[in-house]
Structure 1
Amino acid sequence: MGDDGALPARVFISYSSADREFARFLDGSLAAAGVATFLAERDLKVGDSIPERIFGEIAAATSLVYVVSRASVRSPWVREELGVAKIRAMEGKGFGILPLLLDDVTLPPSVSHIKYADFRDWRDATSYRKTVLELLQSLGGAPVLIGQRQILWYLDNLDTLKFVKHAVSVLHTRTDTATGYFQWFDTWHWSVKYAASDDDPPFFSAMDRLEELLAPVADGDQRLRALRDCIEPAKKAVVRGSRDPGDRGESSRRIREVVEVCARMLAILNDLEGDFEASVHAAIATRMERP
């Protein structure tokens, strides 16, 4: 989770499609900490054998994160993934199942003996960050405070980072709304075009400014590298999403790509903000304790 590279963890995120918004943000937070993930919405490709790919990814993972919600406890796919994970865990090779409680539901008997991470208040940024840090510690990471040089960089560029976060947030909200109403219209490519236009806020301008900002510093920090790695996929997803492919299914898939990459960027930006604030407070406290 610090600046020395990725955690030796590969996480399979098991979730119901009804909880995809949470899964996207969790995926971004894990990416910011250097954790490799498998997220079906993003990683399953056309032509993949779904059972074969799912079982293979669980076999390759070091942990399965089980998002427990009203929807997931009723999902046959999630139950199947959990069953495969239980078999893998019984092999005794360090594989772990990590339940994340999203709703007020009773944990299934197969995982009721495992301590869960409480994400029921995940939309509150402070609560989400606290529980994500607990999860990362279970994966072998630990919070690493940021050095003085990086704190100064963050403070110097705070306005730009807030501008970028606003631009990404607007694009995410508008395109996510579009996916909810897509079935009622012939095409929704215009929604991406409108959301990423040169009106307020200009998305491509925000990406260019972020790329310029990160160029001299990203290689020294895992969080900043993860953020930089989102820029090009975000640009490509928006360009593709703003074009009408002439096919409803393909248009819907392109819009979901935009939503997914925006969610990842927002999660990283939120975690980055939390890391810097914690480091600033720690630095102030240390200075005040000195005689």
Structure 2
Amino acid sequence: MSDGGASRVKVFISYSSADREFARFLDGSLAAAGVATFLAERDLKVGDSIPERIFGEIAAATSLIYIVSHASMRSPWVREELGVAKIRSMEGKGFGILPLLLDDVALPPSVSHIKYADFRDWRDATSYRKTMLELLRSLGGAPVLIGQRQILWYLDNLDALKFVKHALSVLHTRTDTAAGYFQWFNSWHWSVKYAAYDDDPPFLSAMDRLEELLAPVADGDQRLRALKECIEPAKKAVARGARDPGDRAESSRRIREVVEICARMLAILNDLEGDFEASVHAAIAARMDHP
């Protein structure tokens, strides 16, 4: 999306916690396109009045994305958010509800008349990208082909980017898994330390390498800027997560912070791969049409 179009869009993502992996990746893809989002697991702070904050964020949003799944159909919070969104949409001020189908389930009657985006095969990169582009068009954006300078940069640095993506995948997978196993103990920080500091590839080295790669090109592309802006928060999240705060609730918050930033960066990298491949193919086709 163009920077001007993106700046006017703010999306509230309504989802069940059971679908948080998809919600995190979706959030990363929207961030790469310059779309502002509200994601409860990240944006709700200790001390917030949950109903007041959620209703206020829906009121401030231009759209609500409703992730439709078996879990969200059973969630009282999701039903409440959808109800508030329906009231907003009836005000006739351009507010939209965008259903995203995640499971084989019938849409609720209140939104069954709305065309949905089919993300049931979202783990397949090609399918995810195709449906994501449809969603971005619904939000007023369009795919932007990448310039020659960025294409050459991408081709020159494919191996290094694969190294970075692998490091992120290792940290995300092991930290997310460890969070589940260690939720009954006071040692969550060890899962971050193990995956980020004591493993191969070393996460912090990968972040330093990514920072070097992006330095000459990030300012020329919204998606590359979004990726660059994640690097410092990722380093800080890992540093905090690897320290034992001596408090179980704080350990839980820190581990989620690491998982969330990794998911966002992986989503942006996945989108970049698709964008660059599409741009390369378009450039090749143009050259063949006009040799």
Fold-level similarity (TM above 0.5):
yes
The answer to whether structure 1 residue 193 and structure 2 residue 193 are counterparts is yes
Cα shift at 1:183 = 2.8
Question: What SS does the corresponding residue of 2:12 show, helix, strand or coil?
Answer: strand
Shift of 1:184: 3.7
Q: How many Å apart are 1:4 and its aligned residue?
A: 6.4
Contact conserved, 2:179 with 2:191, CA < 8 A, in 1? no
Shift in CA distance, 172/252, structure 1 to aligned 2, threshold 3 Å: same
Q: Could you give the per-residue CA deviations for residues 75-98 of structure 1, whole angstroms, max 9, x where no partner exists?
A: 000000000000000000000000
Of all paired residues, the percent bearing the same amino acid is 90
The CA deviation string for residues 90-120 of structure 1, in whole angstroms up to 9 with x for no partner, is: 0000000000000011100100000000000
Three-state SS of the structure 1 residue aligned to 2:192 is helix
Report the AA paired with residue 133 of structure 1.
Answer: L
Code of the aligned partner of 2:154:
Y
**Aligned-pair CA distance for 1:180:** 1.7
Cα distance in structure 1, aligned partners of 2:186 and 2:164: 31
Is the contact between residue 207 and residue 231 of structure 1 (CA under 8 Å) also seen in structure 2?
Answer: yes
Please, which moves more after superposition, 174-183 or 61-70?
174-183
Alpha-carbon distance between aligned partners in 2 of 1:259 and 1:54, rounded to the nearest angstrom: 22
CA 1:163 to 1:204, structure 2 compared with 1: closer, same or farther past 3 Å? Answer: same
- What is the alpha-carbon root mean square deviation over aligned residues? 1.2
- Measured against aligned partners, the alpha-carbon deviations of 1:156-214 in whole angstroms (never above 9, x if no partner) come to 11111111111101000000101221234331211100101154101101111111211
Q: 1:161-180 to 2 correspondence within 5 Å? A: 161-180=161-180
Query: Is structure 2 residue 127 aligned with structure 1 residue 127?
Result: yes
The equivalent residue for 1:41 is 41
Give the corresponding residue for 1:250.
Answer: 250
Gaps of at least 5 residues in structure 1 are: none
SS at match of 2:52: helix
Cα distance in 2 for partners of 1:165, 1:158 equals 10
Taking the TM superposition and a 5 Å limit, the aligned residue runs for 1:153-168 are 153-168=153-168
Question: How far off its partner does 1:272 sit?
Answer: 0.5
User: Structure 2: which amino acid aligns with 1:255?
Assistant: I
**The 10-residue stretch of structure 1 (149-158 or 98-107) with the greater mean CA deviation from structure 2:** 149-158
Q: 1:285 to 1:3 in 2, by over 3 A?
A: farther
SS in 2 for 1:42: helix
- Distance (Å, rounded) in 2 between the aligned partners of 1:48 and 1:199: 37
Q: Contact conserved, 2:186 with 2:246, CA < 8 A, in 1?
A: no
**Counterparts of 1:5 and 1:210 in 2: how far apart (Å)?**
28
C-alpha distance in structure 2 between counterparts of 1:116 and 1:283, whole Å: 32
2:140 matches 1:140: yes
Describe the shift of the 1:182–1:199 C-alpha distance in structure 2 as closer, same or farther (beyond 3 A): closer
In 2, are the aligned partners of 1:2 and 1:143 still within 8 Å (CA)?
Answer: no
Matched, 1:28 2:25: no
* Shift in alpha-carbon separation, 1:4–1:85, aligned structure 2, 3 A: closer
Q: 1:183: which partner in 2? A: 183
Q: How big is the shift at 1:146?
A: 0.9
Q: Deviations over 1:131-159 (max 9, x none)?
A: 00000000000011111111001111111
Unaligned runs of 5+ in 2: none
- Closer, same or farther in 2 for the Cα pair 1:4/1:82, shift >3 Å? closer
